[in-house]
Amino acid sequence: MTEARARILIVDDEKMLRMQLRRVMEQAGYQVIEAADGQECLHQYRNFTPDMVLMDAMMPVMDGFDACAHIQRLPEPYHAPVLMITGLEDKSSVDQAFAAGATDYITKPIHWAVLLKRVARLLEQTNLYRDLERRVQQRTSQLRVEVEERKKAEHRVRQMLEREQEVSDMKSRLISTLSHEFRTPLSLILLTAEQMELKYEQLTAEQRSRKFNQIRQNIDRITQILDGALVLNNFHIGGVEVHPTSIEISGFCRELESQWRALLTPKHTLTIRAEESAACHLLCDPALLVQALTHVFRNCVRFSPQGGAIEMTIERLEQDLLFQLRDQGIGIPTAELPKIFERFYRASNADSVPGTPGIGLGLAIASRIVELHQGSIRAESTLNQGTTVTVRLPLTLNVSDLL
């Protein structure tokens, strides 16, 4: 708005005075809107949003004081200044005008030069106020953006610090756990080596072979623990990448069965069956999927010491593929099922099976691999009857989420 094109609302019940005011204002370059009383003033104000109001104080229907008070309560972002025109000069009327919200007043008879100066000054003040208000709003908006950006930055920093603390805690726990778990196999290796050193000539070939096998088994155990720790650490620091490939399920099952049979004991049987609905392709990282399922399979073998059937069935359920591994082992206490996929967690009955040391990483690694494939893993179990682990994977991956 420029001062020369400002809209002036003239409110007066005297038609002749309105005409005079209109002529003077238009000659000064202003746009003019008229109203004959307070109610019409409010109607015109809402419709045209004037930049200034010239208001007579004494009018029928609604006087200027009430009309001015109503204007101040309207919800516009800026209330136009009101210049009250009155023949009243007593202090109480002036106080009443200002109390109603008038910006200034001028008395009758009107001195036209003074009126024009007052109008120009009030419009200039209003323009300055509006400009200041606009700048305040702009700066407030900028500050809001800056505050939001700062909050986001602080959130990212907190996440990084929490991540670093989590990694630090995990490494400390890992080092402590590895130190503890290494003692037994290392002690057995040392003991076996000392026995062979002292009695090597007295041992038969069969006894020597058993001793060497014991050393190899304990070395394999240490290697297995280290491999699990390294894999988990890579997952934790984001060092594992998923390379999706479309695989055909029946061929995948044949390869998996070939690998798993080498891990079976004479007491166990293995059956892998793909339902007719599973005759499809799955988008996944086959190496990681084999690793996850193998961790579950190893537990099936370890914790069914009496042997029995180990079965894996694969079936399609809508847009997902379900892998279910079942054993006939010692089972898992019901209360502990929600915890078995946590790092370093071993069920309370795990040590009841001789020869199954561990640090609770296998199922944690399997769970993390399944999560990377946007799937889920869960377990159901009955003590002394067996456990079923179900891996559910989507047939298609949102590859962008893996990058």
pLDDT at residue 2, as a whole number: 44
* 25 occurs within a structural domain: yes
Sign of CA dihedral 55, 59, 61, 66: positive
Radius of gyration from C-alpha coordinates of the chain? 43
- Residue 233, CA distances (Å) to 30, 224, 268, 364 in order: 77, 14, 32, 11
Tens of pLDDT, residues 333-361: 999 999 999 887 888 888 777 655 566 77
* 370 occurs within a structural domain: yes
Of the candidates 367, 388, 386, 382, the one whose C-alpha atom is nearest the C-alpha of residue 334 is: 382
Residues 244 and 95 placed together within one structural domain of the fold: no
* 254 occurs within a structural domain: yes
Tens of pLDDT, residues 126-136: 888 888 888 88
Whole-number Å distance between alpha carbons of 340 and 362 = 10
* 159 occurs within a structural domain: no
Q: Please tell me whether residue 111 adopts helix, strand or coil conformation.
A: coil
Q: What is the CATH number of the domain that holds 16?
A: 3.40.50.2300
pLDDT at residue 359, as a whole number: 67
Provide the residue-wise pLDDT of the chain in tens; the chain has 403 residues. Answer: 444 589 999 999 999 999 999 999 999 999 999 999 999 999 999 888 899 999 998 888 899 999 999 998 888 666 789 999 887 666 787 888 899 999 998 888 889 999 999 999 999 988 888 888 888 888 888 888 888 888 888 888 888 887 777 666 666 666 666 665 666 678 778 888 888 888 888 888 888 888 888 788 778 777 766 766 666 666 665 667 788 899 999 999 999 999 999 888 889 999 999 898 888 889 999 989 998 999 899 889 889 988 899 999 999 998 999 999 999 999 999 999 999 998 878 888 887 776 555 667 789 889 989 998 999 999 999 999 999 999 999 988 765 555 5
* 211 occurs within a structural domain: no
Instruction: Name the domain count of the chain.
Output: 2
- Residue 75, preceding bond cis, omega within 30 degrees? no
Secondary structure letter of residue 71 according to DSSP: H
* 256 occurs within a structural domain: yes
**Percent of the chain beyond pLDDT 70?**
86
Of the candidates 252, 273, 271, 289, the one whose C-alpha atom is nearest the C-alpha of residue 394 is: 289
pLDDT at residue 380, as a whole number: 95
Domain limit, last residue, from 64, 88, 110:
110
* 120 occurs within a structural domain: no
* 297 occurs within a structural domain: yes
Whole-number Å distance between alpha carbons of 20 and 112 = 10
**Residue span of the structural domain in which 253 resides:** 240-403
Q: What is the CATH number of the domain that holds 401?
A: 3.30.565.10
Of the candidates 44, 54, 68, the one whose C-alpha atom is nearest the C-alpha of residue 12 is: 54
